[in-house]
């Protein structure tokens, strides 16, 4: 079975699920299509009632939903609770604001009237990853359902219980059948979904490799797509930064979700004047993380999401070291049950080292020394990725000036790259295209229709 719950803290396989049969998949699409015909004609108040109810249900079930995430992918339980509440806030945000975001735009014309109105595209297909098993679903579903679309989702094979739990929230909220559909699909069925004429848009969050494949397939079918892909976010520490305060955020940036986040701090670029002090304290903080049961509040280092993820990360580190990188701390799996990898810092990474251009998805930080601000910007931009970036400085205006020179979709000053319902999220370069969340997110999969009225006697 390709959909399995395997507890990464113990390696125990707990439950498996079969992929959907071809006949059942067609029934599901037909059900979604039938739902669309009524849902798209619902008013915002009717849609909002259901989406807001789903948000309320998430809040009331936070502990059980968080437990499933911790069980399936190893997220620290307190962080899993935070993810559930964030997801609920996204649903509530769009339930409240969607009508305002999609109000008709009036265009001033010389005669008559003109407006642009937003109408739903239809059935949307989302391919979502395991690392934030509810948040990824919420930020895809909430804006698009409120816009009048219906959604069908292929979630990651490692979080099937989270996928089913989120789908069940919509049933509990009173959603009509076909509004939100979870699908356990094979890779061949993913391609068939993208090819299906009833599917009108495709969204993927995943690796750059997966993005190239899915975007190409969508393009061949002339379908709108959004791609939120990998990242190798720079965490820039300028010479005037407060080291103690910055270090606390460095640990959050690196270790949130055990480093398994597309916007985790991955490349730590530190001004030469602070490099020795920062590296010393950063190494100490990383070394003191305590591995253990992710359900235990005393645990500060959880497992990677799977044994395969650990093996891949260990191979990356070994290759980097063979190419000349220096291990300051960590560098290998921990000698204990489960898929635990030691918090790791690598230095001496030259441009010819494979690690220089890679994304490390886990508790591995790459450390670079910058001679000055210009050098920091050069290092930050010397990447195929362009998702997020953070800059730490005592002079916020200095940080903002440098932010304008950063090649990425998001830059945060004195805070790690983060997410909230009202902030647009997305990247450039091989980190993808399109935006999710905020007002921007609801406009991705709607038809911007011009309606022009003129006098019948108006000249051509």
The per-residue b/e assignment along 83-112, b for 16 or more CB within 10 angstroms, e otherwise, is bbbbbbbbbbbbbebbeebbeeeeeeeeee
Is residue 262 annotated as a catalytic residue, yes or no?
Answer: yes
User: 237 - beta bridge partners?
Assistant: 270, 392
Q: How many helices (H) and strands (E) does the chain have?
A: 14, 20
CA distances for 432 relative to 262, 316, 386, angstroms? 12, 23, 8
Q: Active-site residue 99, yes or no?
A: no
SS3 314: helix
> Between helices 77-101 and 44-60, what is the axis angle to 10°?
170
Helix (H) or strand (E) holding 448: strand 446-453
**Could you tell me if 338 and 10 are in contact, meaning their C-beta atoms sit under 8 angstroms apart?**
yes
Q: How many of the other CB atoms lie within 10 Å of CB of 164? A: 15
What burial class does residue 17 get, using C-beta atoms within 10 Å of its C-beta: 0-12 exposed, 13-18 middle, 19+ buried?
middle
Of the candidates 83, 262, 436, 444, the residue annotated as catalytic is 262
Q: Which of the residues 167, 228, 436, 444 is marked catalytic? A: 228
In angstroms, what CA-CA distances link 457 with 111, 112, 229, 460? Answer: 11, 11, 52, 9
Q: Rounded CA gap, 418 and 424, in Å?
A: 10
Catalytic residue numbers read: 228, 262
């Amino acid at each position: 079975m390709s959909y399995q719950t395997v507890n990464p803290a113990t390696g125990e396989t707990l439950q498996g699920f079969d992929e959907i049969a071809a006949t059942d998949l067609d029934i599901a699409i037909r059900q979604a299509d039938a739902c669309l015909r009524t849902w798209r004609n619902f008013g915002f108040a009717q849609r909002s009632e259901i989406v807001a109810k789903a948000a309320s249900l998430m809040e009331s079930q936070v502990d059980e939903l968080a437990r499933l995430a911790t069980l399936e992918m190893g997220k620290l339980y307190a962080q899993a609770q935070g993810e559930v509440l964030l997801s609920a806030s996204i649903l509530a945000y769009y339930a409240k604001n969607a009508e305002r975001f999609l109000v008709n735009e009036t265009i001033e014309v010389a005669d008559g009237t003109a407006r642009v109105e937003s109408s739903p595209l239809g059935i949307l297909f989302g391919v979502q990853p395991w690392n934030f098993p509810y948040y990824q679903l919420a930020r895809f579903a909430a804006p698009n359902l409120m816009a009048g679309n219906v959604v069908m989702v292929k979630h990651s094979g490692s979080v099937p219980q989270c996928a089913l739990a989120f789908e069940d929230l919509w049933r509990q909220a009173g959603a009509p059948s076909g509004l939100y559909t979870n699908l356990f699909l094979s890779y061949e069925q993913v391609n068939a979904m993208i090819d299906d004429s009833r599917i009108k848009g495709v969204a993927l969050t995943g690796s750059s490799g997966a993005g190239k494949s899915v975007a190409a397939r969508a393009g061949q079918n002339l379908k709108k797509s959004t791609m939120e892909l990998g990242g190798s976010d720079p965490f820039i520490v300028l010479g005037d930064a407060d080291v103690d305060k910055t270090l606390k955020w460095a640990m959050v940036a690196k270790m949130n979700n055990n480093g398994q986040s597309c916007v985790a701090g991955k490349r730590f670029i530190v001004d030469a004047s602070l490099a020795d002090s920062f590296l010393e304290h950063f190494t100490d903080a990383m070394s003191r993380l305590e591995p253990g049961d992710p359900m235990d509040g005393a645990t500060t280092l959880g497992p990677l999401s799977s044994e395969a993820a650990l093996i891949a990360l260990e191979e990356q580190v070994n290759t980097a070291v063979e190419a000349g990188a220096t291990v300051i701390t960590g560098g290998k799996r921990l000698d204990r049950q489960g898929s635990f990898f030691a918090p790791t810092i690598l230095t001496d990474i030259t441009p010819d080292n494979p690690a220089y251009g890679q994304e490390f998805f886990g508790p591995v930080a790459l450390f670079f020394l910058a001679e000055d601000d210009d050098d920091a910007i050069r290092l930050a931009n010397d990447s195929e990725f362009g998702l997020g970036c953070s800059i730490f400085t005592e002079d916020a205006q200095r940080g903002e000036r440098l932010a304008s020179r950063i090649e990425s979709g998001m830059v945060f000053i004195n805070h790690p790259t983060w997410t909230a319902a009202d902030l647009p999220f997305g990247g450039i370069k091989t980190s993808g295209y399109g935006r999710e969340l905020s007002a921007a997110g609801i406009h991705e999969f709607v038809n911007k229709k011009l309606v022009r009225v003129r006098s019948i006697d108006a000249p051509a």
